[in-house]
Chains A and B, each alone.
Chain A
Amino acid sequence: MERPSDSKPLLEISGLHTSFDTYDGKVRAVDGVDLAVHAGKTLCVVGESGCGKSVTARSILRLVESSGQIESGTVTWNGDLFDGTGEAFDVLSLADGDERLQKLRGGDVGMIFQEPAASLLPLRTIGAQLIETLRIHTGLDKRAARKRAIELLDSVGIPDPARRVDAYPFQLSGGMCQRAMIAIALCANPSLLIADEPTTALDVTTQARILDLIRSLQAEHHMAVMFITHDLGVVAELADEVAVMYLGRVVERASVEELFADPKHPYTKALLASVPVLGRDRGRDLPTIPGAVPSPLHRPTGCSFHPRCAEAIAGKCDVDDPPEVDFGNGRTAECVLYETEGVRS
């Protein structure tokens, strides 16, 4: 598989720290995350609920809720801005009213969310919301925007788009709402689509169709996709590259084939082992990862996974922070077991 490790990534997240102020203290939801998305490729970010993957995605466009703040890090955008300026810049350092942030949101970077019906304003038609976004980013007049809106709805597979453009979100099914959201996210031809668990709230058949849609649109527009999910099946279907997160940190990075064939980090291994396989696990208990994800307020000392790790080394894993080992070609794992193998970061 060709590895564009020399070309600059479209989006580069470096040293991201995002935390929330809660009544019980400060929660470090994202605790030092580095990620890269390359043009035209799909990066899947996998992890259990609460590992910080959603917060990471939201931090990119600075959409973190008011109780949270991005403490440090950079999010470098290397793509062409919609208006053609070629300078790379750090999204996090932009002033609030900076035009570039506005252009990025919905223009060069489209984002879709987990609950499609809840992500649309219930009081306005989907057409109105689509047209609004179109007019913000493309400056079309009302009639042209409406025409384009109908075309877009058609391209995402909504039947009878000329009528549906005037429908309200509550009149559409979950799958159709998600399609509408995708249409809105893509209306300005973004170079990156961030998808935050878009199919989690949908049934399996609809999920498959939405994934197909995303794949075909990606190929058609040569778009990069950053897909957040907890479902390894989706990862297998969609991903080019995978990043596994646990408790706010990226514990492993690999291409999709490498991850499934040769997982390095014990957490990844445990995740893969817990996926039930037809025929294999007959007569046995379903394998699980023992214990529960600790509260981010009370992180275990040393490696945050060590209390649940089958290969933990007492005296080392519960004391020192694990090193991030680079195996080359973008493959990394944050574990003490590979200390001697690769280059330490």
Chain B
Amino acid sequence: MSLKESEGIEPEAMTANPADVQRTRASQRELVWWAFKKHRLALISAWFLAVMLVVIALCEFVAPFGDRHRDSEYTTAQPQVLKLWDTDGPDGFRFGLHVDGYTSTQDPRSLRITYEPNPEDRVDVGFFVKGEEYELFGLIPMDRHLLGPKDIDDPMYLLGTTTDGQDLLSQMVYATRVSASVGIIGVLLAFLLGIVFGAISGYFGGWIDNVVQRIIELIMAVPSIPLWLGLAAALPSDMGPIARYFIITTILALVAWTGLAREVRGRFLALRSEEFVTSALLDGSSHARIMFRHMLPSFSSHIIAALSLSIPGMILAETALSWLGMGLRPPAVSWGVQLQDASKWSVLSGAPWLLIPGLCVVLVVLAFNFVGDGLRDAADPYKH
């Protein structure tokens, strides 16, 4: 009994849904993106990180004050609340962005000075105000800042000041650039090492794999923080901040590459027996070409997910190291360095705002974690 196909309905109707058709024609990258979009938390985090990246690029513009700005008149001053209008002036209601200035009181016994908001002293605040000069991207000389006091000598400290009289908000913006970039660059470095060694280990197998694996296990067996501390302690203390920044990043990467190498190796081992590898070999491709042009791209989304998930660890490590005094040091500023300020009990009890950089750490780490999770779930679009 044969089917009378000519009497059937048109093939297009058979798949019943145009969206399904689109899905069968989509590239892998599109599929990954669609799956990622479904992960609401990951999406929000991705936007958050995008904003952070913009802030990092426009650091000097976003920060109200320069990174060396120090106001010895107002040390450990509390945060000022940004207000849109007030009724304290002589003319009654006034509209305009401003903060309340400070009055200081000194405790006669402890000689500690505290600052309180003084509603009668109004400090006008504006957008795109003239402030300290700087060079955007190191090239374009500018002096406008996103937000700042209209009079450059007035105090506008939205997050309070540190024990040195630095504006916490500005310092935090600069610290973001340092801490986040250490995390990202460190992971990229670790990745370079990890991919190369993992690929070689997994692809060739045999004794090469054994040797590399033993080395990796050895490095992983040493507790990581002592290892970092040891390496960091070896650095001369008079090293300039920039050199120190790069060396610290490298040290962190040198310890972190092992985990990534293991993962990459696992994938290469699994893929080694796939047919497309054999056929590439038979075609005469060199090993390097097969490894990096054929095999690696097939799990590139997994790698990107792993990258994103490794950054939090790196950021936490640098923060801890700097807080201990072994990582970055003043005048360089990172979140860890900022938190050192908050570590004296006597100071902390009166100035809890000094802990706000810690909030930055938590938020950024969470964001990278969520994005990494979302990417990892989306990395296998064919799994669903």
Binding site for B on A (CB under 8 A): 23, 269-270, 273, 287, 289-292, 294-295, 297-300, 306-312, 314, 318
Distance between Cα atoms of A291 and B21 in the complex (Å): 13
Q: Which residues of chain B are within 8 angstroms of A314 by Cβ–Cβ distance?
A: 9
Which residues of B from 1 to 33 have beta carbons under 8 Å from A?
Answer: 1-5, 7-9, 11, 13-17, 20
**Between-chain CB contacts (< 8 Å), 18 pairs:** A273-B3, A287-B2, A290-B11, A290-B14, A291-B14, A291-B15, A292-B14, A294-B14, A295-B16, A295-B17, A307-B14, A307-B16, A308-B14, A309-B8, A310-B8, A312-B9, A314-B9, A318-B9
Distance between Cα atoms of A305 and B323 in the complex (Å): 68
Q: Does B289 contact A (CB under 8 A)?
A: no
Q: Is the CB of A306 within 8 A of B3?
A: no
Nearest-CB distance from B1 to chain A (Å)? 6
Q: Which residues of chain B are within 8 angstroms of A269 by Cβ–Cβ distance?
A: 1
B4's closest neighbor in chain A, by CB? A310
Q: Is the CB of B16 within 8 A of A308?
A: no
Nearest-CB distance from A266 to chain B (Å)? 9
Q: Which residues of chain A are within 8 angstroms of B13 by Cβ–Cβ distance?
A: 300, 307
Query: Binding site of A, secondary structure by majority: helix, strand, loop or mixed?
Result: loop
Q: Is the CB of B2 within 8 A of A307?
A: no
Q: Does B94 contact A (CB under 8 A)?
A: no
Distance between Cα atoms of A309 and B4 in the complex (Å): 9
Partner of A292 from B1, B5, B15 at Cβ < 8 Å:
B15
Distance between Cα atoms of A8 and B95 in the complex (Å): 86
B16's closest neighbor in chain A, by CB? A294
Distance between Cα atoms of A273 and B5 in the complex (Å): 14
Q: Does B38 contact A (CB under 8 A)?
A: yes
Distance between Cα atoms of A318 and B10 in the complex (Å): 13
Q: Is the CB of B3 within 8 A of A287?
A: yes
Nearest-CB distance from B251 to chain A (Å)? 43
Known: A291-B14, A300-B16, A307-B13. A273 touches B8 (CB 8 A): no
Which of A287, A289, A291, A314 neighbours the largest number of chain B CB atoms within 10 Å of its CB?
Answer: A291
A300's closest neighbor in chain B, by CB? B16
Q: Is the CB of A270 within 8 A of B16?
A: no
Closest 6 CB pairs of A and B: A291-B14, A298-B17, A294-B16, A310-B3, A307-B14, A298-B16
Q: Which residues of chain B are within 8 angstroms of A289 by Cβ–Cβ distance?
A: 3
Distance between Cα atoms of A298 and B16 in the complex (Å): 7
Q: Which residues of chain B are within 8 angstroms of A295 by Cβ–Cβ distance?
A: 16-17, 20
Q: Which residues of chain A are within 8 angstroms of B2 by Cβ–Cβ distance?
A: 273, 287
Q: Is the CB of A307 within 8 A of B9?
A: yes
Q: Is the CB of B16 within 8 A of A310?
A: no
Known: A273-B1, A273-B2. A308 touches B8 (CB 8 A): yes
Distance between Cα atoms of A60 and B15 in the complex (Å): 31
Nearest-CB distance from A272 to chain B (Å)? 8
